[in-house]
Amino acid sequence: MSKKTSENRTSKNNNRVRLIIRGSVKFALLSFSLFVVYSVLVIVLFKWINPPTTAFIQRSFGAEFTSVFSGEAKKNRWVPVENISKYMILAVIASEDQKFPEHFGFDVVEIEKAIKEKIKGKKLRGASTITQQVAKNLFLWSGRDFIRKLLESYYTVVIELIWSKKRIMEVYLNIAEFGPKLYGVESASRKFFHKSAYQLNKYEAAMLSAVLPSPVRFSAVKPSPYLKERQKWIITQMQKLGGLKYIEKILK
């Protein structure tokens, strides 16, 4: 084989590799652009239109699930934030995300605390804000892998940019799980307390908020001693935050 022929083959192979790399980069950029456009469009629509389903609910109901308004999921009732007790709104902020009215999707102080505790050898605890939980439950899968956390951060930023705090809270309370396959505060309120979410008092609101970290394990109708203590802690935090005045800014 001549030297010239060998050089030609090498050149062709290099060109082929360059074309493959160029094509892969173009495909990746196009896919990323389409994802951004699609995700932003969906979030803009969900600013005005209530989500017909969530990724979390679909996983819960599995093959039986078609939409939150059909089949077994029909028990889930969407209610506007104006029809939810202010005590309920305050209770979830007190228990889940006390800086919710001020932060931009992330509680940096809590994240730093969680990292320091992990470094000291303690179990890694969650430091997710309400906005992060909405992003995860609405669009993503369970787990703590890097890709999911990256996507969660992306969705969190976009949601905070497009939605008001009031809308974020409305979606959160309507998609949160309060019991096994029981989603939304209206459904939970009617099942556990036989009243609408608008009528919840601070004790009932605190109890519903207390089960949120583990709604399958805990029961609002048969609270364990731990759950009762957590309810008391939440009520104390509600008072420390300043009561219902604390949520006035997010309900405007």
Residue 43 corresponds to which amino acid? Answer: I
For 112-140, the pLDDT digits (tens) are: 776 676 566 655 555 789 999 999 999 98
HSE (side-chain half, CA atoms, 13 Å) at 118: 10
- More confident: 149 or 141: 149
pTM: 0.84
Q: Give the pLDDT score at 4.
A: 55
Q: What percent of the chain has pLDDT over 70?
A: 81
Dihedral sign computed on CA atoms, order 162, 172, 138, 74 = negative
For 52-110, the pLDDT digits (tens) are: 877 766 655 453 444 444 444 445 789 999 999 999 999 999 999 999 999 988 888 87
The answer to which of 35-39, 50-54, 73-77, 199-203 has the lowest mean pLDDT is 73-77
Averaged pLDDT for residues 156-179: 96
Question: Which token pair is 229?
Answer: 């203590």
pLDDT band at residue 159 using 50, 70 and 90 as cut-offs: very high
Q: Give the pLDDT score at 52.
A: 83
The answer to which of 2-6, 75-79, 192-196 has the lowest mean pLDDT is 2-6
* Of 150, 148, 208, the residue nearest 179 (C-alpha): 208
pLDDT band at residue 18 using 50, 70 and 90 as cut-offs: confident
* Of 214, 192, 217, 218, the residue nearest 205 (C-alpha): 192
- More confident: 53 or 162: 162
Q: Give the pLDDT score at 27.
A: 83
DSSP letter at 124? P
Count the Cβ atoms, other than its own, within 10 Å of residue 205. Answer: 29
Q: Give the pLDDT score at 244.
A: 96
Distance CA 128, CA 113 (A): 12
